């Protein structure tokens, strides 16, 4: 298996993990991974597409940033996502963002439409999630299909150098150095949104954790957080 084959498999795995967590439904949503200065791997659709939950490595195609085939035959029978500019503009804006996940988590969309800002309302329940929310989660306020570079740049501007952005009435974009981190960030964001909605539904008031608590919420390192979390996500995938 070549390095490119391994990358295809990883992006496909990330798609299935996102679907298993309910962050996407049907055929909507896509993940990408930058390969070099001019090309990326991204989930594409074919006439036999069975949905994101059933993404296989063969559905991950090598394309150019302009949307053309990244190598001979790469787009034979496949179509590039309409919202390719989400991925390209996010990657071009920050070299650290090698992986981009565009997903449609219902709880995040619902919380934002209800006027609920994603804030660190819990701590040790999910330390990476709490840290993600501590600096704020920005919102791109247009509920549009981001299919042009201009709209992609608008979204990136709203992102404000943060790793995630909520797209009002649409979904989210999560960017990171790895596919695993991009998807795990989205999972944490979804968990915060769902907890916020549950607290509100129970008649409670959302309150951020005390400032004094942050000193005792350490970064436990990637071996405990990202690596262990990803092993779990892969292990819980349904067998096909």
Which strands form 30-34's sheet, in the order they lie side by side?
A: 60-64, 39-43, 30-34, 99-103, 171-176, 164-167, 139-140
Averaged pLDDT score across all residues of the chain: 96
The answer to whether residue 72 scores a pLDDT higher than 70 is: yes
For 18-56, how does the pLDDT look when each residue is reduced to its tens digit (9 = 90+)? 999 999 999 999 999 999 999 999 999 999 999 999 999
DSSP state of 45: B
DSSP H helices, the chain, are 3-20, 84-93, 106-113, 127-134, 149-159, 179-201, 226-235
pLDDT at 223: 60
Q: In percent, how much of the chain has pLDDT > 90?
A: 94
Predicted pLDDT of residue 94:
95
pLDDT tens figures, 137-177 = 999 999 999 999 999 999 999 999 999 999 999 999 999 99
Domain limits at 194? 3-236
Q: Which of 83, 89, 154, 233 is labelled catalytic?
A: 83
* Residues 107-131: tens digit of each pLDDT: 999 999 999 999 999 999 999 999 9
Alpha carbons 20 and 14: distance in angstroms, whole number: 10
Residue 238 has pLDDT above 90, yes or no: no
What CATH number has the domain bearing residue 170?
A: 3.40.225.10
Of 80-94, 157-171, 186-200, 224-238, where does mean pLDDT reach its minimum? 224-238
Q: How many CB atoms lie within 10 A of CB 67?
A: 14
With a threshold of 0.85, does the pTM exceed it? yes
Specify the number of domains making up the chain: 1
Q: What is the mean pLDDT of residues 50-72?
A: 97
Give CA separation, 38 vs 51, 65, 179, in Å: 27, 6, 18
The per-residue pLDDT for 222 is 64
Is 154 annotated as catalytic? Answer: no
User: Rounded mean pLDDT of 209-218?
Assistant: 94
């Amino acid at each position: 298996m070549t390095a490119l084959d391994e990358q295809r498999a990883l992006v496909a795995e990330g798609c299935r993990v996102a679907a298993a967590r309910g962050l996407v439904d049907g055929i909507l949503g896509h993940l990408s991974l930058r390969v070099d200065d001019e090309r990326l791997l991204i989930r594409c659709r074919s006439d036999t597409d069975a949905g994101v939950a059933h993404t296989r490595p063969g559905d991950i195609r090598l394309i150019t940033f302009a949307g053309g085939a990244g190598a001979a035959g790469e787009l034979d029978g496949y179509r590039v996502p309409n919202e390719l500019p989400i991925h390209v503009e996010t990657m071009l804006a920050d070299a650290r963002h090698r992986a981009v996940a565009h997903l449609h988590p219902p709880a995040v969309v619902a919380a934002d439409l209800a006027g609920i800002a994603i804030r660190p309302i819990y701590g040790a329940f999910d330390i990476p999630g709490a840290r993600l929310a501590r600096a704020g989660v920005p919102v791109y306020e247009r509920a549009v299909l981001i299919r042009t570079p201009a709209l992609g740049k608008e979204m990136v501007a709203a992102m404000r150098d943060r790793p995630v952005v909520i797209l009002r009435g649409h979904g989210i974009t999560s960017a990171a150095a790895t596919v695993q981190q991009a998807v795990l960030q989205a999972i944490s964001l979804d968990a915060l949104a769902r907890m916020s909605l549950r607290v509100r539904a129970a008649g409670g008031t959302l309150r951020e954790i005390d400032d004094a608590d942050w000193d005792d919420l350490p970064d436990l390192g990637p071996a405990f957080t990202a690596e262990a979390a990803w092993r779990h996500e892969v292990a819980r995938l349904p067998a096909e």
